[in-house]
Amino acid sequence: MSLFNWVSLVLVLYLLSPILSLNGSSDIPPRFLNYAKKKELFDWMVGVRRKIHENPELGYEEFETSKLIRAELDKMGVKYKHPLSVTGVVGFIGSGKPPFVALRADMDALAIQEMVEWEYKSKVSGKMHACGHDSHVAMLLGAAKILQDHREELKGTVVLIFQPAEEGGGGAKKMIDEGALENVNAIFGLHVANKLPLGEVASRPGPLLAGSGFFEAVISGKGGHAAIPQHSIDPILAASNVIVSLQHLVSREADPLDSQVVTVAKFQGGGAFNVIPDSVTIGGTFRAFLKESFMQLRQRIEEVVTGQAAVQRCKAVISFLENEKPFFPPTINDKYLHDYFRIVAGDMLGIDKVKDMQPLMGSEDFAFYQEMIPGYFFFLGMQNGTHKQLQSPHSPYFEINEDVLPYGAALHASLATRYLLQSQPEVTLPAENDHDEL
Binding site members for Mn(2+): 131, 133, 167, 191, 394
CA atoms within 13 A on the CB side of 216: 8
User: What sections of 276-432 are H helices per DSSP?
Assistant: 291-311, 335-349, 367-372, 405-422
For the chain, counts of helices (H) and of strands (E): 11, 16
| C-alpha dist (Å) from residue 416 to 75, 344, 406, 425 | 21, 10, 15, 16
Cα gap 341→204, rounded to integer Å: 10
- Binding site feature residues: 131, 133, 167, 191, 394
- 11: phi then psi, degrees, rounded to nearest 5: -65, -45
Neighbours of 252 (CB within 10 A): 8
Question: Measured between alpha carbons, how far is 377 from 208 in angstroms, rounded to an integer?
Answer: 8
Question: CA separation (Å) from 219 to 114, 284, 286, 422?
Answer: 34, 14, 19, 57
Sign of CA dihedral 303, 308, 311, 316: negative
Nearest-CA neighbor of 321 among 169, 107, 109?
Answer: 169
CB of 210 closer than 8 Å to CB of 362 = yes
Of 142, 26, 139, 147, nearest to 95 by C-alpha is: 147
Phi and psi at 216, nearest 5°, equal -145, 135
